[in-house]
Amino acid sequence: MPIKRAGKPLLKLEKKAHKSVAPGRMSLPLKYTVCFDRNILEDFAKQHQRFIDKRLKHLQKQPAKRKANLIDCDIEGWQNQLENTRPGLEEYYFSLIQQGILQKHQWHSIEEKKSGKRISFGVVRMANIDPCIRLTRYLLNADWPQDVDAKSMAYHSRQILIMRNAQENIWMHY
C-alpha cells in the first residue's frame, strides 16, 4: 500500500508472510519492508535543512531563555586516581556533578539584599530514577564549602502537581 504525495509514492509498505518460527517463540504475523525512492529522500533532506536553517535564524534573534551545560564525566580522571584511594565510579560522577553545581553557583548566583547572601537555583537533569535518587542522597550528604547551604530534591516528570506541591512544602521547611 503506497503512501502518496501529489500522485507520487513517498514510500511503499510491502506485507510479506513471516518465516516459520521455532515452537514456543513469539512472532509478529507480518513483516513490513519500507521502500523509498532516492529522489524523495534527497528532497526531504533538502527541505529539512531549509527548515533547520530558518529555525536557527529565528532562534538566534531571541535572547537565551535557558542556559545549560553538560558535565564531562571523563572516566580517565577516575582511572588516573590511585586504585586504593579511588572512589566508586558512580561516586566519582556524582562528585563531578557537585563541582559543576558549585561552578554554576559562582557564575550565576545573585545577592539577596536583606541578608547579603548569594543565592542560586538550578536543575540537574537525570535520565533514570534510581541514579537520580542516589545523586540526591549524595548531594544531601556531601561536604560543601562553609558558605554554601545546598538543598536537593528529586522530581519525577510524571509526578502529579499536588504531590510535587506537598513535597516542595516539606522541603521548604527542611
Per-residue pLDDT at 113: 92
Alpha carbon 155 to chain centroid distance? 14
Classified as helix, coil or strand, 11 is strand
Per-residue pLDDT at 174: 61
Q: Which of 31, 34, 32 is nearest to 19 (CA)?
A: 31
φ, ψ for residue 38, nearest 5 deg = -55, -40
Using CB atoms within 10 Å of the CB of residue 11, give its burial: 0 to 12 exposed, 13 to 18 middle, 19+ buried. middle
| Cα torsion 111, 117, 122, 124: sign | positive
Q: Are 96 and 71 in contact (CB under 8 A)?
A: yes
Per-residue pLDDT at 123: 85
* pTM, full prediction: 0.56
> Grid coordinates representing 154?
528529586
Per-residue pLDDT at 161: 76
Per-residue pLDDT at 82: 67
> Grid coordinates representing 170?
516539606
Q: Are 101 and 150 in contact (CB under 8 A)?
A: yes
Bridge partner list, 15: 32
Alpha carbon 99 to chain centroid distance? 19
Residues 97-145: pLDDT tens digits? 999 999 988 888 899 999 999 998 888 888 888 888 999 999 999 999 9
In the chain, what is the straight-line distance between the N-terminal and C-terminal CA atoms, in Å?
61
Per-residue pLDDT at 78: 77
Per-residue pLDDT at 51: 93
Per-residue pLDDT at 173: 65
User: To which residue does cell 580517565 refer?
Assistant: 76
CB atoms near residue 167 (< 10 Å)? 14
One digit per residue, the tens of pLDDT, for the chain of length 174 reads 444 455 555 555 555 555 554 555 545 555 555 566 677 778 888 899 999 999 999 989 988 877 777 888 777 877 777 676 777 888 889 999 999 999 988 888 899 999 999 998 888 888 888 888 999 999 999 999 998 988 888 877 777 777 777 877 776 666
> Grid coordinates representing 117?
547572601
